[in-house]
Homo-oligomer: A and B are copies of this chain.
């Protein structure tokens, strides 16, 4: 499974591609940052993000895009930029028919470090170890994008099992409903 992780942001949008399956060593295919000038208008900045994400999708052809889920509990201005950049990433993926998965920052931290409250340095150290890199990817946004991709690959089997269980349950309910309707009242 090949996943593009996106740590959304208008000034620095982290991007990282990881390939592998849960339980086996993972491989980093690429990592970087899409940047737009902080003094530009939002419209052109979003065009810059779109162009950058498209280049990464063209180059690495991931099967899925994992994007950080944005919460509005932080600083208002930052949240808006993050929400806008993540919308562009989701749009680019969906336009190609690629599935989009959202993971919260604490899910990502917990997946790669074991603690949902790990700091940037810890996440960077674990990403370096898990992908067998010689040094932590910089800036932190790039490392976070890789962590998102790793998180998705590791959580995917559990999520698939959950989805299968839900689908199975719905099917059984539908069968039961159909059977009860079929009975004469």
Residues of A whose CB lies within 8 Å of any CB of B are 41-44, 46-47, 50, 70-73, 76, 79-80, 83-88, 90-91, 93-95, 99-100, 102
Would B76 and A43 count as touching, CB distance under 8 A? Answer: no
Give the interface SS of chain A, mostly helix, strand, loop or mixed.
helix
Q: Which of A43, A50, A85, A95 has the most CB of B within 10 A?
A: A43
Q: Which of chain B's residues have a CB closer than 8 A to the CB of A79?
A: 72, 83
Q: Which of chain B's residues have a CB closer than 8 A to the CB of A87?
A: 46, 83-85, 87-88
Q: Which of chain B's residues have a CB closer than 8 A to the CB of A84?
A: 83-84, 86-87, 90
Q: Which of chain B's residues have a CB closer than 8 A to the CB of A73?
A: 76
Per assembly, the copies of the chain total: 2
Q: Which of chain B's residues have a CB closer than 8 A to the CB of A71?
A: 76
Question: Can you report 21 residue pairs joining A to B where beta carbons are below 8 Å apart?
Answer: A41-B94, A42-B90, A42-B100, A43-B93, A43-B94, A43-B99, A43-B100, A46-B90, A46-B94, A47-B94, A50-B95, A70-B80, A71-B76, A72-B80, A79-B83, A80-B83, A84-B84, A87-B87, A87-B88, A88-B88, A91-B91
What 8 new A-B contacts, CB under 8 Å, besides A47-B91, A72-B80?
Answer: A43-B90, A46-B87, A46-B94, A47-B95, A71-B76, A72-B72, A72-B79, A83-B84
Q: Which of chain B's residues have a CB closer than 8 A to the CB of A43?
A: 90-91, 93-94, 99-100
Would B80 and A44 count as touching, CB distance under 8 A? Answer: no
Q: Which of A47, A83, A87, A88 has the most CB of B within 10 A?
A: A87
A93 vs B47: C-alpha distance in the bound complex, in angstroms? 9
Q: Which of chain B's residues have a CB closer than 8 A to the CB of A41?
A: 94, 100
Give, as a whole number of angstroms, the nearest-CB distance from A82 to chain B: 9
Minimum-distance CB pairs A-B, first 9: A43-B94, A84-B87, A83-B83, A87-B87, A43-B100, A46-B91, A43-B90, A72-B72, A72-B76
